[in-house]
Structure 1
Amino acid sequence: MNELNRAIGELTAEVRGLRRDVQEDRQTSAKHRQGVREELSNIVLRQTHLEADVSSLKHKVDAHEQVTVEIKTLRTKAEGAGTVGRWLIRFGIGIVTLAGWIVGAYTWLTGRPPP
Structure 2
Amino acid sequence: MAAASNNDLYRAIGILTATVEGLRRDIDASERRAGAENREADEKRAVVHRRMDELIGEVGGIKTDIAAIKDDVTDAKAVTDDVKRWRLMGIGALGVVGIGGTALGVSLANSFEWLTRVLHK
Number of equivalences: 87
For residue 76 of structure 1, report the CA deviation from its aligned partner.
0.5
Runs of 5+ consecutive residues of structure 1 not aligned to the other structure? 1-20, 110-115
Q: Deviations over 1:4-43 (max 9, x none)?
A: xxxxxxxxxxxxxxxxx94xx2321221111111111111
Flag the structure with more relative contact order, 1 or 2, with Cα contacts below 8 A and sequence separation at least 6. 2
Which runs of structure 1 show a deviation greater than 2 angstroms over 4 or more consecutive aligned residues? none
- Using the alignment, how far apart are the partners of 2:43 and 2:110 within structure 1? 99
For residue 108 of structure 1, report the CA deviation from its aligned partner.
1.1
CA RMSD of aligned residues (A): 1.4
Equivalent of 1:35, from 31, 47, 62? Answer: 47
Determine the structure 2 residue equivalent to 1:83: 95
For residue 92 of structure 1, report the CA deviation from its aligned partner.
0.9
So what's the TM-score if we normalise by structure 2? 0.67
The letter of the residue matching 1:67 is: V
Within 5 Å, which residues of 2 pair with 1:1-115? 22=36, 25-109=37-121
Identity of aligned residues (%): 14
The letter of the residue matching 1:38 is: R
Q: Deviations over 1:41-88 (max 9, x none)?
A: 111111101100000000000000001100110111111111111111
